Amino acid sequence: MSLVFLRVWLLLAPVAAFYLPGVAPHEYLDNEKVEIKVNKLSSTKTQLPYDYYSLPFCRPAEVVNKMENLGEVLHGSVIKNSAYDISMGKIEFRVLCKRTLEPAEATLLHTRIRQDYRVHMIMDNLPAATKMIRELPDGQTIVMYDRGYPLGFVGSAERQGSVPGGAYLHNHLRFVLKYHKDAAFDGARIVGFEVEPLSVKHKYKGAWSDDASQLQLLTLPVGPDLPPLRVDPKGSAAEREVVYTYDVKWEPSDVKWASRWDLYLYMGDDQIHWFSIINSLAIVLLLTGIVAMIMMRTLRRDVSRYNSPEDKDDLAEESGWKLVHAD
């Protein structure tokens, strides 16, 4: 009778639902704001992550932590808000900000570029990816993806307009956002988040203005044929001026929301973080050795005490595993 009553109570009891980020899809309406969050910087050369705002990027009015679940905490993510302003379905070009780097900031940026750091971003719980086209030995080409985008590149003879050995910053980002629409729901679901980084030495006419309607950029439209932006710590203040820009491109896609993570299965083979693996193994071996040493000393002391003739009278009081020595 009590079991039947329990079942009826469970059926009639009110249910409080909750949302797990990344589990339930979100449908965006036209012109609805789509937030871009920034994550840590990573490199396969140094194995040391850094906070996004440790470099001289554009900042929002208030920097807020944006971690949403336990997995992001365990993964070591440092997710924060950004200054990017994007609306659903709106194709646009925007100037993010202008910064004149201090010599120390330029030096730090120069160092991080040479260390092959990558910038990671998140939109709708989907990490940013950079498309790469690789050619196989048989002449065929395949499309692969890498997480994040490179902070910059080192100049070479193959790079048009670059000086070999110089560090160049990717100060323009082209967001290629893919969405899926269906009659089963209203709005659109984001199924792709690609970033195309470009390095552009922006030029403008007249004085600088934070008002986009009064600012006249001479480097439009932005493309790979424009001169790149070199980071030179020893340059003048004008040469250390950085204009951050971005543009947004929306593309319809047949990929459904449940399959939007499939492209990350075709990512390039990143170097294994040997430093992290060795560090983890060393910690495990150290803790195992400490526990084994404590147990051996405890067991050796107990066994020697039990085998002592003076303590034979106390055997009657022993119980459990401590009686093993008498077998």
Written as tens digits, the pLDDT of the chain (327 aa) is 444 554 545 454 444 443 444 568 899 999 999 999 999 899 988 888 899 999 999 999 999 987 666 666 666 778 999 999 999 999 999 999 999 999 999 999 999 999 999 999 999 989 999 988 877 788 788 778 888 999 999 999 888 889 999 999 999 999 999 999 999 999 999 999 999 999 999 999 988 988 888 899 999 899 989 999 999 999 898 899 999 999 999 999 999 998 998 887 766 555 556 666 787 889 999 999 999 999 999 888 877 777 766 655 555 555 555 566 555
What pLDDT does residue 16 have?
A: 41
What pLDDT does residue 213 have?
A: 84
What pLDDT does residue 57 have?
A: 96
User: CB under 8 Å to 239, separation ≥6 — which residues?
Assistant: 230, 232
In this structure, what token pair is assigned to residue 48?
């040391």
In this structure, what token pair is assigned to residue 143?
């499309």
Q: What is the DSSP letter of 265?
A: G
Q: Is 144 within 8 Å of 55 (Cβ atoms)?
A: no
Q: 191: phi > 0 → left, psi -120 to 50 → alpha, else beta; which?
A: alpha
What pLDDT does residue 46 have?
A: 85
What pLDDT does residue 278 have?
A: 81
| Cα three-residue angle 256-259-261, rounded to 5 degrees | 130
Q: What is the DSSP letter of 255?
A: -
Q: What is the DSSP letter of 162?
A: -
Alpha helices of 97-248 — where are they, by DSSP H? 103-114
What pLDDT does residue 266 have?
A: 66
Alpha helices of the chain — where are they, by DSSP H? 2-12, 70-74, 103-114, 274-306
Per 3-state DSSP, the chain is made up of helix, strand and coil in percentages (nearest 5) of 25, 30, 45
| Cα three-residue angle 299-303-304, rounded to 5 degrees | 120
How far apart CA 11 and CA 9 sit, in angstroms, is: 5
Does 252 sit behind a cis peptide bond, omega within 30 degrees of 0 on the bond before it?
Answer: no
Full-model pTM: 0.76
Q: What is the DSSP letter of 320?
A: G
Q: Is 306 within 8 Å of 312 (Cβ atoms)?
A: no
